């Protein structure tokens, strides 16, 4: 999704800059609307003979160019979205589906005719016709058409990675997909609408800044309108073209021209990171997050916990523990369950009539019920202890000691029972991701608190939390625990972000201010969150925060620069207005500009050209550095405040020298 801006992509933006001169578009941006009105007024005053023809037409032309540059900035940002939308449309053109009917037969139908609940068959070399969940099989899928990444991903029925997107290519095997999206409401459709801007609403911060700019513009308009009356008292007749020039230089035209582009670019930056933000507000809120709730597995650790050892209790033979662990894991589709089967190394099959009990977040156990009343379970210590006691068994002290020993090493203990007898513990090992501690330190420097959520027991959770460097953790967490923690943080006035992929994460994702759902997760999770990570990388939440902060920092930098560089324009325009009638005003001509006409034109030229020069900054964003609010403000004022104050003095003087040399003004 990273497309360079070639001449072909800039040409439509240039055309759009002229079409956006229509009144219905200009009125959406009050600052640039005032500049456009000033352009027309300057042209009318020149034609009416109220200003020298050459000077009047030059002012009119520069003001028109200023408006066009503002429109061009917005059009360039939108062109990125159109380029992304075009590539997304190519991913779904003319898709056909092999729909399975009630009798098990197949019928080829256009993908547009598919409805939620329909089942479709997709084999290697075919495109997935619609968003859905894999109900049967597993396959390697190329999602490059959506994510831009060529590396294939594995999708499998019955796991947290069962979701597929319409338009992606199946590379191997065959799968049966249950359609979950209505035509026109798929992820591709939603992405196309967002990147084209048709669904982009202004964010609260953007609206507030827009109101501030509107008030400033109205205030300066009133001030300029009163100048002819004030000039009358001192015998100065103010030229209307000069008044228009003064107004345009006083109002914050730079940020007014770049604000729409900056807002659009924020969502584009999220998409470039393969994050689908359902609204611009979600991107912006990410920059104000106070608390991050992160799952341990796959986010803080690599997530591929593997069974590494069996620890039998005294009086229990290791073969007995291995057999029970194997039987309890035969139908477990998770990587952990498969690793238990591999570690056991036994060639056993489940007996006829066996009933497998899948893992549940509520019971925190899984296992199998065998013929003859034999009940085998594996799960967390607390859940297994309650299970055995309910059957009339006892929990030996040696078990708790063994669990504690395993947990202290950072491994996850999984207790195994056969009926009322506890047999021993399986050690599941995971590894903290490289560099994650440094990332959390950066977040802490920005004032963001990190909370690790895990189903592990408190000892294991404490070990991983200390190794990863998180600020707090929730051990043995259930879905309601996540929701309760989010509500508690929000009740204290904090903004909370969370990542999840399962149906049981949906309530918490919906409650969080930023809910980042995994694209490979369940449909319920994707609908509940306000962001979807197309790469299905839980650690992406850290990048989302950086994108949000970059959006806010960029907007602040542009605003600071825009307001600071207005100061130099006062020293250029005001002496030009009053120096003849009030000689003392010449003291304000600190730049020693050649003439009043050259001063006005130089200020207007700088005011116009600074907009396109700042377009790359508005689109790319200010480089993000992890720091506190005070440090960021200090850097903003130093670089963009002081820079915005000094640069125009130098630039306007150079433009004045050029104009006076070429046109003898």
Alpha helices in 20-155 (DSSP H): 23-26, 30-47, 53-90, 144-147
Helix (H, G, I), strand (E, B) or coil at 326: helix
505 is in an annotated binding site: yes
533 is in an annotated binding site: no
Task: Answer positive or negative: Cα dihedral of 478, 484, 486, 488.
Answer: negative
Q: What angle do CA 197, 202, 203 make, to 5 degrees?
A: 125
Query: What pLDDT does 162 receive?
Result: 81
Q: Does domain 285-300+433-534 have CATH number 3.40.50.1000?
A: yes
Q: DSSP labels for 214-265?
A: HHHHHHHHHHHHHHHHHHHHTT----HHHHHHHHHHHS-HHHHHHHHHHHHH
Q: What pLDDT digit, counting tens, does each position of 308-366 carry? A: 899 999 999 999 999 999 998 887 777 788 888 889 888 778 788 889 888 776 777 88
Helix (H, G, I), strand (E, B) or coil at 196: helix
Arithmetic mean of pLDDT, 10-24: 87
Please report, for the chain, the start and end positions of each structural domain, with discontinuous segments joined by +.
9-83+194-270+545-663, 96-183, 285-300+433-534, 304-431
Locate 145 and state its tokens.
């058409």
Task: Answer positive or negative: Cα dihedral of 607, 608, 611, 612.
Answer: negative
With a cut of 50, say whether residue 4 has pLDDT above it: no
Task: Give the pLDDT band of residue 199 (cuts 50, 70, 90).
Answer: very low
150 is in an annotated binding site: no
Torsion angles phi and psi, residue 418, rounded to 5: -125, 100
Higher pLDDT, 456 or 127: 127
336 is in an annotated binding site: yes
359 is in an annotated binding site: yes
Q: What pLDDT digit, counting tens, does each position of 69-107 carry? A: 988 888 887 776 565 556 556 555 567 889 998 888 889
* CA-only gyration radius of the chain, Å: 32
Query: What pLDDT does 384 receive?
Result: 93
360 is in an annotated binding site: yes
CA distances from 563 to 173, 376, 387, 567 (A): 60, 71, 68, 8
Instruction: For the domain covering 96-183, report its CATH number.
Output: 2.70.150.10
Query: What pLDDT does 532 receive?
Result: 85
Q: What pLDDT digit, counting tens, does each position of 600-626 carry? A: 899 899 989 999 999 888 888 888 776
Residues marked active site are found at 295
472 is in an annotated binding site: no
332 is in an annotated binding site: yes
**Other residues' Cβ atoms within 10 Å of the Cβ of residue 204:** 12
Q: DSSP labels for 150-185?
A: -S-EEEETTSS--EE-TTPEE-SSEEEEEE-S-TT-
Beta bridge partners of 224: none
Element at 449 (helix H, strand E): strand 449-453
Query: What pLDDT does 181 receive?
Result: 82
In contact, 464 and 296? CB cutoff 8 Å: yes
Average pLDDT of the chain is 82
From 143-157, 234-248, 377-391, the region with the lowest mean pLDDT: 143-157
Q: How many helices (H) and strands (E) does the chain have?
A: 24, 22
Query: What pLDDT does 419 receive?
Result: 92
Query: What pLDDT does 155 receive?
Result: 85
Element at 379 (helix H, strand E): strand 374-379
Locate 275 and state its tokens.
């994050």
With a cut of 90, say whether residue 38 has pLDDT above it: yes
Assigned CATH topology for domain 304-431: Calcium-transporting ATPase, cytoplasmic domain N (3.40.1110)
Question: Of the ranges 11-20, 302-311, 581-590, which is most confident?
Answer: 11-20
d(CA 644, CA 565): 5
Q: What pLDDT digit, counting tens, does each position of 451-497 carry? A: 998 877 787 788 888 888 999 998 888 778 888 899 999 999 899 99
Q: What angle do CA 286, 287, 291 make, to 5 degrees?
A: 65
Query: What pLDDT does 517 receive?
Result: 84
d(CA 122, CA 170): 7
490 is in an annotated binding site: no
In contact, 164 and 134? CB cutoff 8 Å: yes
304-431 and 285-300+433-534 share a CATH fold:
no
Q: What pLDDT digit, counting tens, does each position of 576-599 carry? A: 766 656 777 777 777 888 888 888
Query: What pLDDT does 2 receive?
Result: 41
Query: What pLDDT does 61 receive?
Result: 94
Task: Answer positive or negative: Cα dihedral of 650, 654, 655, 659.
Answer: positive
From 100-104, 158-162, 553-557, the region with the lowest mean pLDDT: 158-162
Torsion angles phi and psi, residue 351, rounded to 5: -65, 155
End-to-end CA distance of the chain: 49
Query: What pLDDT does 193 receive?
Result: 65
């Amino acid at each position: 999704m990273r497309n360079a801006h070639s001449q072909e992509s800039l040409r439509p933006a240039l055309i759009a800059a002229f079409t956006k001169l229509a009144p219905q578009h200009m009125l959406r941006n009050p600052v640039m609307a005032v500049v456009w009105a000033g352009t027309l007024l300057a042209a009318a005053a020149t034609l009416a003979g109220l200003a020298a023809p050459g000077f009047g037409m030059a002012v009119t032309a520069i003001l028109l160019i200023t408006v066009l540059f503002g429109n061009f900035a917005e059009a360039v940002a939108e062109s990125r979205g159109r380029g992304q939308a075009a590539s997304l449309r190519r991913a779904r053109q003319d898709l056909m589906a092999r729909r399975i009917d009630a009798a098990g037969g197949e019928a080829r139908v256009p993908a547009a005719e598919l409805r939620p609940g329909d089942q479709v068959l997709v084999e290697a070399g075919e495109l997935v016709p619609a968003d859905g969940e894999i109900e049967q099989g597993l396959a390697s899928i190329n999602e490059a058409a959506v994510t831009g990444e060529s590396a294939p991903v594995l999708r499998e029925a019955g796991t947290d990675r069962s979701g597929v997107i319409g338009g992606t290519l199946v590379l191997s095997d065959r799968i049966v997909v249950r359609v979950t999206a209505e035509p026109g409401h798929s992820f591709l459709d939603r992405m196309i609408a967002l990147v084209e801007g048709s669904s982009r609403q202004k964010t609260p911060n953007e609206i507030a800044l827009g109101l501030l700019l509107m008030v400033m513009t109205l205030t300066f308009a009133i001030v300029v309108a009163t100048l002819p009356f004030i000039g009358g008292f001192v015998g100065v007749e103010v030229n209307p073209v000069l008044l228009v020039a003064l107004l345009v230089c006083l109002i914050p035209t730079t940020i007014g021209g770049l604000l729409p582009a900056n807002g659009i670019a924020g969502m584009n930056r999220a998409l470039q990171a393969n994050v689908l933000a359902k609204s611009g507000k979600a991107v912006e809120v990410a920059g104000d997050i106070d608390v991050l709730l992160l799952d341990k597995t796959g986010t803080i650790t690599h997530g591929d916990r593997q069974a590494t050892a069996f620890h039998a209790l005294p009086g229990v033979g290791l073969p007995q523990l291995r057999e029970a662990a194997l039987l309890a894991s035969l139908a477990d589709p998770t990587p952990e369950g498969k690793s238990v089967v591999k570690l056991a190394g036994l060639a056993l099959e489940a007996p006829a009539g066996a009933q497998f009990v899948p893992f549940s977040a509520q019971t925190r156990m899984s296992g199998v019920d065998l013929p003859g009343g034999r009940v085998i379970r594996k799960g967390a210590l607390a859940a297994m202890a309650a299970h055995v006691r309910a059957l009339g068994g006892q929990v030996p002290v040696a078990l708790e000691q063994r669990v504690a020993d395993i947990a202290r090493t950072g491994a996850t203990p999984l207790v195994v029972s056969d009926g009322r007898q506890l047999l021993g513990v399986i050690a599941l090992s995971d590894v903290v991701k490289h560099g994650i501690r440094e990332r959390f330190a950066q977040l802490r420097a920005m004032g963001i608190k990190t909370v690790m959520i895990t189903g592990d027991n408190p000892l294991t959770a404490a070990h991983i939390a200390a190794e990863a460097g998180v600020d707090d953790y929730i051990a043995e967490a259930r879905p309601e625990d996540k929701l309760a923690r989010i509500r508690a943080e929000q009740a204290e006035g904090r903004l909370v972000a969370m990542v999840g992929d399962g149906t049981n994460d949906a309530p918490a994702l919906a409650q969080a201010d930023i809910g980042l759902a995994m694209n490979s997760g369940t449909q319920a999770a994707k609908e509940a969150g306000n962001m979807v990570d197309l790469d299905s990388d839980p650690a992406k939440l850290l990048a989302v925060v950086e994108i949000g902060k970059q959006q806010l920092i960029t907007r602040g930098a542009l605003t600071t620069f825009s307001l600071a560089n207005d100061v130099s324009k006062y020293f250029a325009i005001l002496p030009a207005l009053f120096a003849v009638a009030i000689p003392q005003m010449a003291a304000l001509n600190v730049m020693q500009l050649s003439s009043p006409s050259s001063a006005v034109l130089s200020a207007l030229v700088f005011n116009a050209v600074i907009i396109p020069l700042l377009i790359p900054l508005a689109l790319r964003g200010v480089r993000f550095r992890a720091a506190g609010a005070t440090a960021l403000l200090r850097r903003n004022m130093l670089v963009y405040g002081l820079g915005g104050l000094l640069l125009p003095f130098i630039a306007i003087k150079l433009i004045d020298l050029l104009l006076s040399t070429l046109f003898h003004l």
